[in-house]
Chain A
Amino acid sequence: MNSVLKRNPTELAALATPLVEGLLRLGDNALVLSQRLSAWCGHGPAIEEDMALTNVALDLLGQSRMWLTLAGNAEGAGRDEDALAYRRDANQFRNVLLNELPDEDYARTIVRQFFFDVWHYFLLERLSHSSHSEIAAIAAKSLKEVTYHVRRASDMMVRLGDGTAESHRRMQDAVDALWPYTGELFVDDAIDLEWDKQHWGPKVSALREAWLEHVAQVMTEASLAVPAPEAAMHAAFRGGRSGRHTEHLGYLLAEMQFLQRAYPGASW
């Protein structure tokens, strides 16, 4: 029995928003990154890369379905995973900006994945001890998959960062371009504080130390320079978690949602 169900109805209604909002963040992070990675299907620079990225995309899609289903149930307005994935507009999405950025260079795909996977790993580890039994169950299941993701992403950082002069340059460029977006991963807002208070999940600020330690360790091995922490502090590089997105998300959704927008309710 999860802790939400034991409360009285009035209290439950007041809690619904932070719970749903937090679940949408989890579901949307996985969904949007999955969509980005899926675009590499058939276009990967090597067959092993193509398969790895699409396998990771598939894991993330499955995780997103569980989170969005739970969000729809918690909301209680009759929206299922499909309604949430295909019939919300960009300003209703709650993913971090990092995950919606376009794949301008393969190095960016790898670096983005690395930054996100490490954060995702530590987040899921904490969520697997959630007081909310369904959150804990989804997190524990996802964590097993993400352990493989973070391992691969870390290895790729080293292979390409410490590879040729060109691969090194492109990886460092990608690190410098994406680093400012990592600030958003660790800035608490009212939703995070409520999750912490209810023991549903951690404050995101609490993940920063472990994240930075792993990231710095791998980047040092990869002979990549770790940018200064202040470079990730600018507010212009965050907002996705409360629905303020870059222009890129709209294009991503236009493609992802086309069929359900053109033919609402279409199914296989």
Chain B
Amino acid sequence: MIDAQQVMGWLQEVADPEIPVLSIVDLGIVREVSWEQEVCVVTITPTYSGCPAIFEISRAIEQCLLAHEIKSVRIDTRIAPAWTTDWMTEQGHSALKSYGIAPPVQRAVDISGIIRRPAMPAVPCPQCGSKSTRLVSDFGSTSCKALYRCSDCREPFDYFKTH
């Protein structure tokens, strides 16, 4: 039987289909790897309820592990506790930034509650680093992103919003 840590290492090769530089491990959706006899069980926590990437991700996990000579793979989903961007790794944050997406600047607890306009630290522009940026819309090109614009370099950019 292969060590679960080893399997976790292989899962680093599986990328989010929308953000190919970000592995699913760094995205924080892989909860655990365990074995039931010969079956490798990978438990994942989906991000947003409607995110269609979850089907691609499940398929990619299976293909990745089969390629590493694991004979049988099962994907379980666990929705509680709900996924949060707090589970993203440091490596995940830097991968996003170098890809041109600003990583979350807050902890999930900071945005919870029915507060109208939560205090929001500046989101640094991933292109030029300026902190003079402006929220255009909380809803962007995918469920997980908000749309920002940099007031200095004038470039629009995606922000991976705190969830």
Chain A residues with CB below 8 A from B66, complex form: none
Which stretch in B11-19, B27-35, B106-114 binds the other chain? B106-114
Cβ–Cβ contact B79 & A61, under 8 A: no
Known A59-B48, A62-B51, A144-B163: A138·B137 in contact at CB below 8 Å: no
Q: Would you call A148 an interface residue if the criterion is a C-beta within 8 Å of the partner chain's C-beta atoms?
A: yes
Q: Would you call A58 an interface residue if the criterion is a C-beta within 8 Å of the partner chain's C-beta atoms?
A: yes
The prevalent SS among residues of A at the interface is helix
Q: What's the interface size class on B, roughly?
A: 20 to 34
Q: Would you call B147 an interface residue if the criterion is a C-beta within 8 Å of the partner chain's C-beta atoms?
A: yes
Cβ–Cβ contact B50 & A144, under 8 A: no
Q: Would you call B139 an interface residue if the criterion is a C-beta within 8 Å of the partner chain's C-beta atoms?
A: yes
CA distance A59 to B163 in the complex (A): 13
Q: Would you call B49 an interface residue if the criterion is a C-beta within 8 Å of the partner chain's C-beta atoms?
A: yes
Q: Which residues of A76-133 have CB atoms within 8 Å of chain B's CB atoms?
A: 118, 121-122, 133
Q: Which of B111, B116, B140, B163 has the most CB of A within 10 A?
A: B116
Known A147-B113, A147-B114: A136·B50 in contact at CB below 8 Å: no
Which of B51, B139, B141, B163 touches A56 (beta carbons < 8 Å)?
B139
CA distance A66 to B82 in the complex (A): 13
Cβ–Cβ contact A51 & B49, under 8 A: no
Which of A60, A140, A147 touches B50 (beta carbons < 8 Å)?
A60
Chain A residues with CB below 8 A from B143, complex form: 55, 58-59
Q: Which residues of A121-176 have CB atoms within 8 Å of chain B's CB atoms?
A: 121-122, 133, 136-138, 140-142, 144-145, 147-148, 150-152, 154-155
Q: Which of A55, A122, A145 has the most CB of B within 10 A?
A: A55
CA distance A147 to B116 in the complex (A): 10
Q: Would you call A52 an interface residue if the criterion is a C-beta within 8 Å of the partner chain's C-beta atoms?
A: yes
User: A178-207 vs B: 1/0 string, CB under 8 Å?
Assistant: 000000000000000000000000000000
User: A207-238 vs B: 1/0 string, CB under 8 Å?
Assistant: 00000001000100000000000000000000
Q: Would you call B81 an interface residue if the criterion is a C-beta within 8 Å of the partner chain's C-beta atoms?
A: yes
Cβ–Cβ contact A150 & B114, under 8 A: yes
B80: nearest residue on chain A (CB-CB)? A137
- How many Å from the CB of B36 to the closest CB on chain A? 20
Known A66-B49, A147-B112: A140·B81 in contact at CB below 8 Å: yes
Chain B residues with CB below 8 A from A56, complex form: 139
A56: nearest residue on chain B (CB-CB)? B139
CA distance A136 to B116 in the complex (A): 24
B45: nearest residue on chain A (CB-CB)? A141
Cβ–Cβ contact B114 & A140, under 8 A: no
Cβ–Cβ contact B48 & A62, under 8 A: yes
Q: Would you call B152 an interface residue if the criterion is a C-beta within 8 Å of the partner chain's C-beta atoms?
A: no
- In the complex, the 10 A-B pairs of residues with the closest C-beta atoms, listed nearest first: A62-B49, A62-B50, A137-B80, A58-B50, A52-B139, A141-B82, A55-B139, A48-B137, A63-B49, A61-B50
User: A231-256 vs B: 1/0 string, CB under 8 Å?
Assistant: 00000000000000000000000000
Chain A residues with CB below 8 A from B140, complex form: 51, 55
A138: nearest residue on chain B (CB-CB)? B79
Cβ–Cβ contact B51 & A141, under 8 A: no
CA distance A62 to B48 in the complex (A): 8
CA distance A56 to B82 in the complex (A): 18
